[in-house]
């Protein structure tokens, strides 16, 4: 059997065509990376092409943030108290983080020891009140029903009013809302028509 040799000229042309195709592909990839722009951080509550500027955060985003904060703060069980407390700290201002950490750790220790659970029924977003203060800060008022159990035995049902002082920060992967709580006040009492079992207040 005779071997058929490919002319050197054809080999050269094939290599040139292959190199030209590879160079074109590389050029296209570089242009794509250069022209596609930087990633955009989407802030919950901001619709379409709106940009989240600290002094112009939509009320909808503030309401959703307050409800999420409330659920992580006051809805827990012995199995979730520690994890929820750790997650909640990302929504607390830097000057209050350590104090909040100590308080949440103490509560988590009690919750595990006493086998206490807390279930919160949050309000609808439209029932959350947002007051705009100076320097781009906000005061948020919302009410919820909180049911507390020891083990599986009901302990009490309270109507809780929360007042949160909220400030804008730069949005991040751990806090896409770009909001933090700088202070809070809580007033809990038995709902109308039931026997008052407990009242509590926490200063700002």
Positive or negative torsion for Cα 11, 12, 15, 21: negative
Q: Which two tokens stand for residue 12?
A: 């050269």
**Kind of pairing, strands 138-150 and 179-189?**
unpaired
Lowest pLDDT segment from 23-32, 73-82, 99-108, 135-144: 23-32
Hey, what are 154's tokens?
């009901």
> What pLDDT shows up at residue 129?
97
List the one residue out of 66, 163, 194 whose CA is nearest residue 124: 66
Residue 65: predicted pLDDT: 96
Mean pLDDT along residues 80-105: 96
Tell me what the pLDDT averaged over the chain comes to: 81
Residue 64: is its pLDDT beyond 70? yes
DSSP, collapsed to helix, strand or coil, labels residue 91 as helix
| Cβ atoms 182, 93 nearer than 8 A | yes
Token pair in block for residue 111: 């919750």
The tens digit of pLDDT for each residue in 148-180 reads 999 999 999 999 999 999 999 988 889 999 999
- Say what the pLDDT of residue 49 is: 43
Q: Taking residues 71-82, report their average pLDDT.
A: 96
Question: HSE-up of 20 (CA within 13 Å, CB side)?
Answer: 6
pLDDT in tens, 179-203: 999 999 999 998 876 654 444 444 4
In this structure, what is the dihedral angle of CA atoms 169, 175, 181, 182, given to the nearest 10 degrees? -40
CATH (residue range 54-202): 3.10.450.230
CB 127 within 8 A of CB 142: yes
């Amino acid at each position: 059997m005779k071997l058929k040799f490919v002319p050197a000229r054809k080999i050269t042309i094939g290599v040139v065509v292959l190199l030209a195709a590879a160079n074109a592909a590389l050029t296209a990839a570089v242009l794509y990376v250069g022209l596609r722009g930087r990633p955009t951080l989407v802030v919950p509550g901001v619709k379409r092409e709106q940009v989240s500027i600290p002094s112009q955060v939509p009320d909808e985003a503030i309401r959703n943030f307050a409800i999420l904060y409330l659920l992580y703060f006051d809805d827990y069980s012995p199995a979730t108290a520690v994890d929820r407390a750790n997650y909640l700290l990302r929504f607390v201002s830097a000057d209050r983080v350590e104090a909040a950490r100590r308080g949440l750790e103490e509560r988590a220790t009690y919750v595990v020891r006493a086998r206490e659970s807390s279930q919160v029924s949050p309000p609808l977003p439209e029932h959350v009140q947002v007051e705009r203060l100076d320097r781009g800060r906000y005061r948020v008022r919302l009410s919820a029903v909180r049911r507390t159990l020891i083990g599986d035995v009901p302990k009490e049902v309270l109507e809780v009013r929360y007042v949160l002082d909220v400030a804008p920060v730069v949005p991040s992967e751990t806090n896409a809302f770009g909001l933090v709580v700088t202070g809070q006040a809580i007033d809990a009492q038995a709902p109308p028509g039931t026997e008052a079992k407990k009242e509590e207040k926490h200063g700002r």
